[in-house]
């Protein structure tokens, strides 16, 4: 099964995050746009409902006033025939009124509710129903009432209006100055079709529906633009946050506004500045910590490879260096010399003057050896009073000259610093390529054997090894 690389996985994560962010932004924009449209519709419906109700009340008032006015005119026209009980003229007035006005019926009756004359539109047929309803009962005059005709008859507005005589002799009260009331002759009852009111309400309803449609059509693009103006800065801020979370610490929000979104972008930029400053400080601290760790590691490595008394390298470090240098010598066919040194009479010094003076002698010996070496030479305390020196690119003759300088300088240093001590140095030399040696341990063994040969030859001398087991004293 193929393993997805970290870079490829990061790109997939970034792509999924971008798609999720885009989907969230579009969802927010769509939801906000729908909310604006719904609010616009609610406001439009509320305002339109109020206007429609007000218009309906006004149209109803005008319709009521119109039918009352028609009834008042008929009542005025009916006064002469009713005063003389001219029922034929009254019937003619009722018939002509039905034919000349949008009236459903016209009924004249006296003050006791007895019908005097009546006429109706032949298409409606509502007089029979009204006759059975009245039966001596007089409806409340002056108040229009909506009624429905029988069957599929249309809705009409019914009103009763009093017919009062025109009294030619007006008597005035001397005390109050009021005119005497007129004489009630009867009533006129008319029914007017409500088409006018229905047409008015239908036209108002059409107007309201048109306004609602126009408001909805205008609210969709306007709401989209308004919401887009809000969402676009949020998109920029979200993109900056996403890039910042992916490690682009120098990215900042481009939003420059004075509203809540602008304050949010400003807060993000300040947070990003603080985060970047903290990150830079942590990077500097990590770099300093790494430097100190490296330095401390080197110090610890140095301490682990040094002899605590003399400060020379220890035997383990010398063996590691010898292996590396030995391999280089064999590869590049260069010179390499190894010196094994031992203090003569060291045990007698310890026995006579104590271990403290013996330690001082060891330190003096180490200082004498290192004072004569080059920077690439390696000196180590091999064990006890034995010291070993590795001389890269140094043949046996030059190594002998160095040993002579060390022995001479050691005698001077002992005389100056420890005059009570009698001690010298015996040295064994093993060199490549004069010795046919393929193992670094054999080089140490040859130098050690040469050093023992020097001790056997009278001490305080130098012996160069001619083989692993043979050496020549000098």
| Mean local confidence (pLDDT), 301-311 | 88
Q: Coil, helix or strand for 396?
A: helix
Q: Side-chain half-sphere of 370: how many Cα atoms within 13 Å?
A: 14
Query: Which of 344, 337, 422, 343 has its CA nearest to residue 386?
Result: 343
Query: Is 344 tagged catalytic?
Result: no
Beta-carbon count within 10 A of 29 CB: 19
Q: Which domains are assigned to the chain?
A: 7-165+183-248 (3.30.450.20), 251-304 (no CATH), 315-473 (3.30.70.270)
Position 14 confidence tier, pLDDT thresholds 50, 70, 90: low
Q: Do 275 and 245 meet the contact criterion of CB atoms below 8 Å apart? A: no
**Angstrom distances, CA of residue 58 to CA of 206, 283, 385:** 17, 80, 128
Share of the chain above pLDDT 70, in %: 78
Share of the chain above pLDDT 90, in %: 35
Whether the predicted model's global pTM rises above the 0.75 cut: no
Q: What are phi and psi of 82, to 5 degrees?
A: -75, -30
Chain mean pLDDT for the chain:
81
Position 64 confidence tier, pLDDT thresholds 50, 70, 90: confident
Peptide linkage before 292 cis (omega within 30 of 0):
no
Burial 383-410, CB ≥16 within 10 A → b, else e: eebbbbbbbbebbbeebbebbeebbebb
Q: What is the pLDDT of residue 181?
A: 61
Extract the tokens encoding 394: 């140094």
**To 10 degrees, what angle do helices 355-371 and 346-353 make?**
140
| Mean local confidence (pLDDT), 265-285 | 87
Extract the tokens encoding 322: 């010898």
Q: Where are the strands (E) in 218-284, listed by range?
A: none
| Mean local confidence (pLDDT), 326-331 | 94
Cβ contacts of 453 within 8 Å, gap of 6 or more: 428, 463, 471, 473
Position 170 confidence tier, pLDDT thresholds 50, 70, 90: very low
Distance between CA 217 and CA 141 in Å, rounded?
Answer: 50
Distance between CA 151 and CA 165 in Å, rounded?
Answer: 38
Catalytic pick among 307, 335, 385, 448: 385
- Decide if pLDDT at 26 tops 70: no
Q: Do 145 and 154 meet the contact criterion of CB atoms below 8 Å apart? A: no
């Amino acid at each position: 099964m193929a393993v997805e690389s970290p870079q490829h996985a990061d790109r997939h994560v970034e792509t999924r995050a971008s798609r999720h962010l885009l989907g969230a932004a579009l969802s927010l924009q769509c939801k906000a746009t729908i909310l604006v449209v719904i609010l616009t519709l609610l406001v439009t419906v509320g305002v339109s409902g109020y206007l429609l109700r007000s218009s309906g009340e006004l149209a109803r008032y005008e319709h009521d006033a119109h039918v009352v006015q028609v009834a008042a005119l008929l009542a005025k026209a009916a006064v002469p025939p009713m005063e003389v009980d001219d029922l034929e003229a009254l019937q003619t007035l009722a018939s002509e009124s039905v034919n000349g006005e949008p009236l459903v019926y016209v009924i004249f009756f006296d003050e006791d509710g007895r019908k005097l004359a009546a006429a109706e539109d032949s298409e409606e047929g509502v007089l029979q129903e009204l006759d059975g309803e009245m039966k001596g009962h007089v409806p409340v005059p002056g108040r229009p009432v909506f009624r429905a005709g029988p069957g599929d008859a249309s809705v009409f507005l019914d009103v009763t209006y009093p017919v009062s005589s025109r009294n030619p002799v007006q008597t005035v009260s001397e005390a109050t100055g009021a005119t005497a009331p007129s004489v009630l002759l009867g009533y006129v009852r008319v029914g007017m079709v409500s088409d006018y009111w229905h047409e008015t309400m239908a036209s108002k309803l059409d107007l309201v529906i048109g306004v609602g449609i126009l408001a909805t059509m205008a609210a969709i693009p306007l709401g989209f633009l308004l919401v887009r103006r809000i969402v676009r800065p949020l998109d920029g801020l979200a993109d900056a946050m996403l890039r910042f979370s992916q490690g682009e610490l120098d990215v900042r929000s481009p939003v420059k506004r004075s509203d809540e979104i602008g304050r949010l972008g400003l807060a993000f930029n300040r947070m990003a500045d603080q985060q970047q400053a903290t990150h830079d400080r942590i990077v500097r601290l990590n770099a300093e910590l790494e430097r100190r760790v490296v330095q401390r590691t080197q110090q610890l490595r140095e301490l682990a490879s040094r002899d605590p008394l003399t400060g020379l390298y220890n035997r383990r470090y010398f063996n590691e260096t010898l292996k590396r240098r030995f391999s280089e010598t064999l590869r590049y066919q260069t010179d390499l010399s190894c010196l094994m040194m031992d203090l003569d009479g060291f045990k007698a010094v310890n026995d006579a003057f104590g271990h403290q003076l013996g330690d001082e002698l060891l330190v003096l010996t180490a200082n004498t050896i290192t004072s004569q070496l080059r920077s690439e030479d390696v000196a180590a305390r091999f064990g006890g009073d034995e010291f070993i020196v590795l001389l890269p690119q140094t043949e046996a003759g030059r190594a002998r000259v160095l040993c002579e300088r060390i022995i001479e300088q050691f005698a001077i240093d002992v005389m100056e610093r420890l005059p009570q001590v009698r001690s010298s140095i015996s040295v064994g030399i093993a060199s490549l390529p004069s010795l046919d040696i393929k193992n670094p341990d054999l080089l140490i063994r040859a130098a050690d054997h040469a050093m023992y040969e020097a001790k056997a030859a009278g001490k305080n001398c130098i012996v160069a090894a001619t083989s692993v087991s043979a050496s020549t004293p000098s």
